[in-house]
Structure 1
Amino acid sequence: MEKVNENVKNLKKGQKVVIEDGATIGQDCILGHNVVVHSGVTVGDNVTVGDNTVLGKEPFRAKSSAITTIEKLPNLQIGEGTTIGACCVIYRGARLGNSCFVGDLATIRENTIIGDMTIVGKGATIENRSSIGKRVKIETNAYITAFSTIEDYCFIAPEVTFTNDNYLGRTEERKKYFRGPTLKKGARIGANATILPGIIIGEDAVVAAGSVVTRNLEPRKVYAGAPARYIKEVPEEQLIMNQTYYEK
């Protein structure tokens, strides 16, 4: 079962680590106790994986799931310098960039792409077929529904909820319209906000804590309330282009 390339250097493993045939582990990696690396997974150099984490899990489907098609998924790829916490599950078909951070208990589903230096907080869930840019921060227990798009430099506070089904699970018609929210570059979402299906939030827009977003939001404006309404312009010094870490 466990077969690591002889050229791998400085691999540190805890107890009862499982590395299936066909997995590739980079140089100078650390795998905690009970880590499972499924066949086909590629782990870059200098990656740390916490105890009890599963990499490359195949998805299961309930008979009543909205999406029941079983598809052949590409292999999971973990970029170099990435840190993954304890008890995480990252599915086959996902792709994580370089220097990402995934907190304990997080779940990243299949066909999800995550850019370089993005943070996925403790207990956060990113559902399938989502696209996350670089330098994004997704905080503790946030829920990113399937078919969502989050562009570079966005911030998503704890307990934020994205949704993708306006039909609330009823009628076959709904399957034609599954669509998660889209956050444009630099958008920021406050704690416990809810974003309804298909909503587009403009660049550098801000959604206040506890808001419910029911319509598209314009760039560089602050919104609050349920439903969210315009409050004021985003201060110039807070725009992403004026931050020291911003790369054009």
Structure 2
Amino acid sequence: HPHSKIGDNVRIDDNTVIGKKPLSSPRSIFKIKDNYSPTIIGNQCQIGANVVIYVQCKIGNNNLIADLATIREDTVIGDLNIIGRNVTIENYCQIGNRNKLETNSYITAYSKLEDYCFVAPCAATSNDNYMGRDPERFKHFKGVTIKTGGRIGVNCTVLPGKTIREDAVAAAGAVITRDLPKKQIWAGNPAKNFKEVPKAQLIKYNLDKKK
């Protein structure tokens, strides 16, 4: 779209849209603004086919954004992230550096991922404890937070406002109803403490230095 800014050595595949303005229904919570700043794509990014990146996003350098991914408006993404096929990142999200979001994962609005986070396929996050009912919900929208090195397993569900702390793991299929402490693996529905994260898996021993 006009005014979008594309960095150097960026690959953009077929049918991808950059700088799309959002739609709004009379029933939508988020209303369209009169003016948006342009989307900015950093250097050496690879963007697959049929990707939609909305207006007023800022994407850093060396990111891979795979086919069919969607990134909503007002989202900021750092450097060296892998955003997998059909991943959805909703609006007002902050994504740091060197994160990996795998196929079909869903990051709800107002979420924050720090660095070196891992989100497995089909993991889902949420931001509305009222499930669309009760005007009180408008005061309490809150996305999830994943601290540096936090990981979420396949088909995990994280409820609104919850924090996955540093090096914590939400196991496959877990339903996260409370904040996870550092370096613990939680499993089940509702999730409970299962065991400590093995020392060899702690992020300080697994830092990726690739540029």
Q: How high is the TM-score relative to the length of structure 2?
A: 0.97
Aligned to 2:44: 81
Describe the shift of the 1:79–1:73 C-alpha distance in structure 2 as closer, same or farther (beyond 3 A): same
SS at match of 1:222: strand
The 1-side partners of 2:207 and 2:143 are apart by 30
- Pairing 1:137–2:100 present: yes
Give 1:243 shift.
Answer: 1.2
Deviates more, 1:62-71 or 1:191-200: 62-71
Q: In structure 2, give the amino acid aligned to 1:128.
A: N
The 8 Å contact of residues 76 and 95 in structure 1, kept in 2 or not, is answered as yes
- The residue identity in structure 2 corresponding to 1:140 is T
Structure 1 residue runs of 5 or longer lacking an equivalent are: 1-37
Q: 1:99 aligns with which of 62, 68, 71?
A: 62
Question: C-alpha distance in 1, partners of 2:207/2:167?
Answer: 15
1:246 deviates by: 5.7
**Matched AA of 2:6:** V
Kept after mapping to 1: 8 A contact 2:107/2:124: yes
Amino acid at match of 2:103: T
Tell me, yes or no, if the aligned pair for 1:145 and 1:164 is still in contact at 8 Å: yes
Q: Name which of 184, 204, 209 aligns with 1:241.
A: 204
Q: Which structure would you say has the larger Rg? A: 1
**Following the alignment from structure 1 to structure 2, what is the Cα–Cα distance between the partners of residues 244 and 219?**
17
Structure 2 unaligned blocks of 5 or more: none
* C-alpha distance in 2 between matches for 1:226 and 1:142: 19
Distance 2:176 2:200 in 1: 25
Contact 2:92–2:109 (CA<8 Å) still a contact in 1? yes
Q: State the match for 2:130 in structure 1.
A: 167
Percent sequence identity over aligned pairs: 50
More contact order relative to length (CA 8 Å, sep ≥ 6) = 2
Distance in 2, matches of 1:228 and 1:71, equals: 43
Whether contact under 8 Å (1:240, 1:246) holds in the other structure is: no
Q: Which amino acid counterpart does residue 219 of structure 1 have in structure 2?
A: K
* 1:72 aligns with one of 35, 51, 61: 35
Q: CA RMSD in A?
A: 1.2
CA distance in 2, matches of 1:81, 1:204: 29
Q: Which runs of 4+ in 1 moved over 6 A?
A: none
* AA matched with 1:142: S
In the alignment, which residue of structure 2 is the partner of 1:60? 23
Q: TM-score, normalised on structure 1?
A: 0.83
Query: Residue 221 of structure 1 corresponds to which residue in structure 2?
Result: 184
Correspondence for 2:121: 158
Partner of 1:9: none
Paired residues, number: 210
CA distance in 1 between partners of 2:165 and 2:31 (Å):
33
